[in-house]
A and B are shown apart, each in its own frame.
Chain A
């Protein structure tokens, strides 16, 4: 038997709204812990130290690729954003194998996406 179900969700980001809105314009909004000074991106509601007093801060959006994978679903990487103490999983757009740095791109479409565009200028040594 064939049965088709179509679902249209309305989802609210809740406390993550600044992060989600930031991605629309390519801004990396992170959370900075006032207790241990650690900055998380993607943002964490509760810091890894256990503290809940965190402020929103804006990162430059520049990131270094640590590990990358490619296959049938596209290219993805574990990256370190400048100014963040945690790392992030991002999709890579138009990255060459020898490109190791990128910049957060504005999300396309309706959903928030962590996508990195390559930085083409000479990379720092």
Chain B
């Protein structure tokens, strides 16, 4: 077999050198999220997108006419009943005439849209770019219908028609991970309680539950070892970013964080074709690529928003991102808690804050941008700002991965 490093191609040296040759720094000048929840107020995805976009625009201190391009992340037309949502939103937001593109990569859609926007700015083809992630994942279809659709996030002809759900596939991958890393059900409980405790301090969170270990143990079995409280909810909501070129940065936004590095990769579609089915290899490769761009190693990361649709996926992510080689030990010792060396998912993560799919990756990056600028929810904002933070997103069973490393702005 060919080593995975060759399968994934590009050398990290090439990535680093090519960036030096064409560097146009991308700055996160605006960031906003709507609350994530199940909407019952008669509003729709256009309303949420509008709210998030204009909040981000106000933070960026620019006008609609300054936007050169719009990237919209939305996972499925089945949720919104709207094909070509990017052009619809361009009109809704009063920016008809801009370049408008819809980005889709399953659960990674939002982060891939961020990458597309960063590349547009870095290439010099746009001064300011808007990114909007949105999906009505909770209110437009029944839970059973959404679960059936999610089954088609994997290979339809093998996993999809077999009836293997997202929960079942994640559960199998986690078991393959738990064996070599020695993580237990207690660790699933620990990461769930920690993440949900953060969500309780996030006014925009979908599930700010004050759960106990017993509550988790008593919740219904979804796909062993995952119980309902180990899982993220289906949510409605939107998130938005304004990404600006360094040369066009408003004088008042000098504290805004810079995009240090972006990286994306794919893994084998079939879980069984992966040499180590518990490892999120695409995430590791994405992180290596992002770190190479940023000129750092993973131990420089001091904040992380990790993609955690299930409790075990957070543990798998910590290892894949190079933030831990023993997640059970580090979790127990508080490394990833609010006062730890690298606080993880202060937002509440997908499990606590919620998961409107297209919005997720955009929202994770928006959260990281606000944290690194000291503008996040007061009860969750660290007093000491690290230099680097990472927003990590993936689609399928980490079949498509995308990570973004942000660097604290000079004035923050």
Contact = CB atoms under 8 A, between A and B. Distances in A.
A116 to B, nearest CB: 10
B158 A49 contact: no
Contacts of A3: 81
Contact of A114 (B81, B158, B226): B158
A68 B169 CA distance: 10
Contacts of A71: 167-168, 171, 221-224, 226
B4 to A, nearest CB: 10
A88 B60 CA distance: 49
A69 B171 contact: yes
Contact of A72 (B172, B176, B222): B222
Nearest to A50: B2
Contact of B272 (A72, A73, A78): A78
A44 interface: yes
Contacts of B169: 76, 89
A76 B271 contact: no
B175 to A, nearest CB: 4
Contact of B271 (A48, A50, A89, A115): A89
Contacts of B221: 70-72
B2 A48 contact: yes
Given A3-B81, A78-B272, A89-B271, A69 B168 contact: yes
A91 B163 contact: yes
Q: How large is the interface on A (under 10, 10 to 19, 20 to 34, 35 or more residues)?
A: 35 or more
Contacts of B171: 69, 71
Given A44-B273, A71-B222, A78-B271, A91 B161 contact: no
B172 A76 contact: yes
Contact of B273 (A19, A40, A66, A74): A40
A91 to B, nearest CB: 5
Interface string B162-187: 11110111011001100000000000
Given A38-B1, A71-B223, A89-B270, A20 B165 contact: no
A124 interface: no
* Closest A-B pairs by Cβ, 6 of them: A87-B272, A71-B223, A69-B171, A111-B161, A76-B168, A67-B175
Given A48-B2, A69-B172, A87-B277, 7 more contacts: A42-B270, A69-B171, A71-B167, A89-B172, A91-B163, A114-B162, A115-B162
